[in-house]
Amino acid sequence: MNQEQTNITTGKQIRHLRTQLGMTQEELAGELNVTRQALSNWERDVNEPDLN
């Protein structure tokens, strides 16, 4: 793995995939049944999704 790959956070991955899908935070949050604020926090690496 190169240095750039090791710096990719969960939040960066979520944002990248969301933008690749052409979705807004509001749209993806609705699909995931979370608030837009929760999704924003994930993308900014303030919090991580609870996978339980």
**Contact at 8 Å (CB) between 45 and 14?**
no
Q: Mean pLDDT across the stretch 36-48?
A: 97
Does the predicted model carry a pTM greater than 0.75?
yes
DSSP state letters, 13-24: HHHHHHHHTT--
The mean pLDDT of 26-44, rounded to a whole number, is: 98
Residue 1 pLDDT > 60? no
How does 27-52 read in b/e, with b if 16+ C-beta sit within 10 Å? ebbeeeeeeeebbbbbbeeeeeeeee
State percent of the chain over pLDDT 90.
81
